[in-house]
Amino acid sequence: MNLTQTRGIATSMTAHRKQIFTEVARLAYEGGDYTRIEDLPYKIAPGELPEDRESIFLERAIIGERIRLAMGLPLRSITEHTRLSDGVNESAIAEKYYDPPLVNIISYACNACPTNRYHVTDGCQGCLSHYCYEVCPKGAISFVKGKSVIDETKCIKCGKCANACPYNAIIKQERPCAAACGMNAIESDEHGRAKINYDKCVSCGMCMVSCPFGAISDKGQIFQLIHSIKKGDRNIACVAPAFYGQFGPDATPERLTAAMKQLGFSDVVEVAIGADLCTIEEAKDFLREVPEYQPFMATSCCPAWSVMTKKEFPELAMNISMAMSPMVLTARMLKTQHPDAKITFVGPCSAKKLEASRRSVRSDVDFVLTFEELQGMFEAKEVDFKSIPAEDEVPLCEASGVARNFAVGGGVAAAVVEAAKHLAPGREVKVVAAQGLSECKKMLMLAKAGKYNGYLLEGMCCPGGCVAGAGTIQPIKKSAAAVGLYSKEAPFESALESKYDITLPLLKD
């Protein structure tokens, strides 16, 4: 079963994450003496016997570190005695807070999984043909009591034995976090446990959602956001279109604003409004630049894709569109209208936290929440979507259908092509799209070789697009179908029909 198939399956790991976000939100809303954080691991993992780990003490220790990360606090050193509450009072502030790195591995939660090997399972029948032995180019196969055994010191991981076995008894084992990382940023420490090479990491979070042991987590801003709300700041939520369907069938777009106001937000705005502006700007950018001034153009919406391009293909970075992402465009528009407001982006993406911390963006976006984290806030405040009265329902109706489709793979390119057809009738815009950073790298390798001259390239770091982001709750296919329905419910189809003029400073600093 691959990563996209396992997403959305309810497990004890996802239940713990939900509990942690809920308890952190509840702690912030209630205020008071925050040293009571020391009691939370006992509340989440009660009793004497562990639910998942070999020890209740280990289980609580890991929960404690995940709580700290959810509050934006750093991991504690395992070699020193410190309290779980260390630094909590200093983080109880009404502004963005966390020290890098964003994505962290709790070392003692890591299973030290095999990194990359071929393994003979009990499915081996000890057949007489010995196909695995015959095809091995390095003599790595031997037999013990008639069963195949692989000498890993000789094995070159070519996979010929696995392909030749008529019983599919030889399997390839990879460390799940490393297999999901398109940047090859997962390495091993001296104990064989996973560690992140931050020079390569782009904070996409795919390692986090692929780890079956819950050892990887990103830092959050729930705690600081709620302090901003309690302080009395006007906080506007900018919600990405992938939200549709994330919080259950009763969480309709019409009820979202009322639900968010119960959390303390003053208003809700669709990020798809910014996607319309981004569409128009990228279409104009493409028509103006390609092929006269640059061979191809790449979309700019996915921050992890953009960072990957700059890290791995710096010579191609100038081909990324100069348009700001929908998150930043929406936030910048709102800051122009409401200079004193705080802007919270709510979406499926862990990498947006990193984007919001950039020098050119940090003044526009004050907080970033994932859908998982927002769900914790709903739980803490006991928000019941079903009980929201009809008179409190507010439709979200200011963005186009193509803008809402930004959330699925291929959606950004489709929107740009649609706008380009209106802006330059008769002009052909050829498109190629890739999802997952490994596929994005292949696409850029071909672009570097001149195979995509004249093309618009769409890159999405998550397989499936934004609906597969690290902070989503529902299965990817279900989320994509929900976004498709949400797109059809849009009041208009084309980005060019948006009532918002591009009068903002739209280009990247």
DSSP string, 170-223: EEEEE-HHHHH-TT--EEE-TTS-EEE-TTT-----HHHHH-TT--EEE---HH
- 3-state secondary structure (DSSP) of residue 102: coil
CA distance 487 to 465: 15
For the segment 101-120, the average pLDDT, to the nearest whole number, is 95
pLDDT band at residue 508 using 50, 70 and 90 as cut-offs = very low
- Residue ranges of domains in the chain: 3-102+219-223, 116-174, 235-497
Cβ–Cβ under 8 Å, residues 124 and 143: no
CA distance 309 to 122: 43
pLDDT at residue 506 tops 50: no
Q: Which residues pair with 342 in a beta bridge?
A: 235
CATH architecture of 116-174: 2-Layer Sandwich (3.30)
For the segment 328-348, the average pLDDT, to the nearest whole number, is 96
pLDDT band at residue 1 using 50, 70 and 90 as cut-offs = very low
Tokens 């003599």 locate to 139
pLDDT at residue 505 tops 50: no
Residue 359: the pLDDT is: 87
pLDDT at residue 509 tops 50: no
Cβ–Cβ under 8 Å, residues 144 and 398: no
pLDDT at residue 504 tops 90: no
Q: What is the DSSP letter of 99?
A: P
Cβ–Cβ under 8 Å, residues 459 and 300: no
Cβ–Cβ under 8 Å, residues 64 and 41: yes
- Angle at Cα 413 formed by Cα 412 and Cα 418, nearest 5°? 100
Which amino acid belongs to residue 300? Answer: S
- 3-state secondary structure (DSSP) of residue 506: coil
Which amino acid belongs to residue 437? Answer: L
Tokens 């013990």 locate to 144
The alpha carbon dihedral of 283, 284, 289, 290 has a sign of positive
Q: Which residues pair with 148 in a beta bridge?
A: 143
The three-state (H, E, C) secondary structure of 30-93, written as one string: HCCCHHHHHHHHHHHCCCCCCCCCCCHHHHHHHHHHHHHHHCCCCCCCCCCCCCCCCCHHHHCC
Which tokens is 75 given? Answer: 């991991």
CA distance 334 to 340: 10
CA distance 322 to 298: 9
The alpha carbon dihedral of 334, 324, 273, 361 has a sign of negative
- Considering the chain, what is the average pLDDT of its residues? 94
For the segment 394-413, the average pLDDT, to the nearest whole number, is 96
Q: What is the pLDDT of residues 426-472, one digit of tens each?
A: 999 999 999 999 999 999 999 999 999 999 999 999 999 999 999 99
Tokens 């952190």 locate to 24
Polymer length of the chain: 509
Cβ–Cβ under 8 Å, residues 457 and 433: yes
